[in-house]
Structure 1
Amino acid sequence: MIRLHHVQLACPAGGEEVARRFWRDGLGMTEVPKPPELAGRGGAWFRSGEAEIHVGVEEPFVPARKAHPALAVDDVATLETLGERLTAAGFEVDWRERHTFTGHQRFHAYDGHGNRVELVTGA
């Protein structure tokens, strides 16, 4: 059996606070400590349930505009609440493809570094 352990996204040097605003404050994920041997590299790790996102420093930095993690939420109300929270926090949220994924509703958001993230739920 194979299961997903984490998804790695990149940020520029010094981008950790912007990552915290998106992942922790916007999506409500918990920041988890990086192992001491990795902490000196910068970046930050976030978890909610089984989903874990690692944001690492990469230079030169190029945002992932097409490749993206897709995070599932329990219901449409949660999806809409998260979209509203991210918008209120100043992040780009795109609902144009809300109903294009059969049996699901979704939106795409862009973290403060331009990385694409999908939030999806069942219909």
Structure 2
Amino acid sequence: MRLHHVQVACPRGGEDAARRFYGEGLGMTEVAKPEALAGRGGCWFRAGSAEVHVGVEEPFAPARKAHPALVVDDLDAVGARLAGLGFEVDWTERHTFPGFERFHTFDGHGNRVEVLGYVPVSVVPCSA
């Protein structure tokens, strides 16, 4: 089994805020929605095999606990880019997930998003 996408919600007309967070902030590429779904609003993003679908939900309420968790190559750079765009970046749990460093943030609609980076494995040379 593989995960195809995660969907998060936005209010009607929230596509530009989604583009700012997922596109500019996380560096994901917006992909066209299928014609049959485009009229529903929202927008879709992809980076590698990860997809986030932002769909319109009425009434809208942000997900404060449930969240996608995305692995990036340069955690510090992504955190700095999001902070530079005005998004809150919370590093308090940076070292609480074995094998990763991470931060939590909220997209332009208040949905929680976790961003992780792999911790490099130290190689200790064998003594002869």
Tell me, yes or no, if structure 1 residue 80 matches structure 2 residue 76: yes
Identical-residue share of aligned pairs (%): 70
Q: Deviations over 1:53-98 (max 9, x none)?
A: 0000001101011110111123xxx100000000010111110000
Q: Which runs of 4+ in 1 moved over 2 A?
A: none
**What residue is the counterpart of 1:30 in the other structure?**
29
Distance in 2 (alpha carbons) for counterparts of 1:49 and 1:90: 25
How far off is 1:44 after superposition? Answer: 0.2
Indicate whether 1:43 and 2:42 are aligned: yes
- Give the C-alpha shift of residue 122 in structure 1: 1.7
Q: TM-score, normalised by structure 1?
A: 0.95
Question: Where do residues 12-31 of structure 1 align in structure 2 (5 Å cutoff)?
Answer: 12-31=11-30
Q: Secondary structure at the match of 1:117?
A: strand
Aligned position for 2:9: 10
Give ranges in structure 1 of 5+ residues lacking alignment.
Answer: none
Equivalent-residue separation in structure 1 for 2:100 and 2:32 (angstroms)? 33
Q: Could you say what the CA RMSD is over the residues aligned between the two structures, in angstroms? A: 0.6
Q: How many residues are paired up?
A: 119
